[in-house]
Amino acid sequence: MMKKGISFLLALLVVISLAACNQKIETSSEKEKSGDSKGLSVDRLSIVTGGTGGTYYPLGGEMAKIIGKELGVEANSQASGASVENMQLLQDGDADIAFTQTDIASYAAEGKEMFKEKVDQIAGIGTLYPETIQIVTLKDSGIKSVEDLKGKKVSVGAPGSGTFANAEQILKVHGMKMDDLKAQHLSFDESAEGIQDGNIQAAFITAGTPTGAVEALSATNPVTIVPIAEDKIKELMKEHPYYIEDVVKSGTYKLEQDVKTVAVLSMLAVRKDMKEDDVYQITKAIFENTDKISHAKGKLINAEKAVDGMGIDFHPGAKKYFKEKGNLK
């Protein structure tokens, strides 16, 4: 009788043990299905973007979703003061991934312009799309050229921002200085509201087109983009090689014709001390899922062009990915 009882208990223990093993396997399998971290050394990633009225902010949100889904980590996208502030956030270890302009990243790495010291803790993932310098005004403002901005209330971005640097450089090739304007330091959203309310006459906006703040303005007011003359574009590109020629296409913001201007490139940067494999997986997740980006700029983001125009060194993890793709030697 006692032997039977012991046998029963042993059999019961075996059943419980097998059930526990099965449960373990099942849980692991479910975790894999739901998106395990796939070997990343971190559980969370922070992405800093720009103001809510620009292009970085909505793109950052979409990329955070892609990274979260593909790599099984908590990826958070947050608004910021954009390029210049983002470089400092990476330097201070307060962000993992950042949107920035290529020119600003270059200034940061070299300790030039708005950077008094070298920002030495940043590395590149890849370039994304042209960031168009848009000088926005109302159609009936009477402003037809850059020279017409003289004496007007014009938003030029925050001092030390990428937009501010672009505005300064464009004014300079036209023989002008900031002092020639009644310069206002507003965000993109504030600039659009200021133009609509008549508090300012124009605004420099450096962002991918269409830009949310300008779209919102054009929905209620006929707007125009002030063109930059061909000779001034060439002069600007000669002095600052990171500029490229660009066009705001007709139909954008209900424009009746194309408008010639210039652009810099946008890019993604990371902290230099991030692990190579982590950055490799992040780079791969982004550039192999660009079809999941619904923003208009998603069509311009691809692995082939991502290696062009980088203003700083690639992170080893990003370099590994692009070499595998055959985009880098």
Structure tokens at 252: 């954008």
More confident residue, 16 or 112: 112
What domains does the chain contain, in order, with CATH numbers?
44-128+267-325 (3.40.190.10), 131-264 (3.40.190.10)
Model confidence pLDDT, tens digit, residues 213-237: 999 999 999 999 999 999 999 999 9
Cα torsion through 289, 294, 298, 304, rounded to 10? 20
- For 224-275, what is the HEC assignment? EECCCCHHHHHHHHHHCCCCEEEEECCCHHHCCCCEEEEEEEEEEEEECCCC
Model confidence pLDDT, tens digit, residues 4-60: 444 544 444 444 444 444 433 322 223 333 345 567 999 999 999 998 988 999 999
Model confidence pLDDT, tens digit, residues 291-325: 999 998 999 999 999 999 888 999 999 999 999 99
Burial class (CB in 10 A: 0-12, 13-18, 19+), 226: buried
Model confidence pLDDT, tens digit, residues 160-181: 788 999 999 999 999 999 999 9
Tell me the CA distances in angstroms from 262 to 193, 233, 248, one per residue in order.
Answer: 24, 7, 9
The Cα–Cα gap between 34 and 36 comes to 7
User: What pLDDT does 159 receive?
Assistant: 79
The Cα–Cα gap between 217 and 110 comes to 37
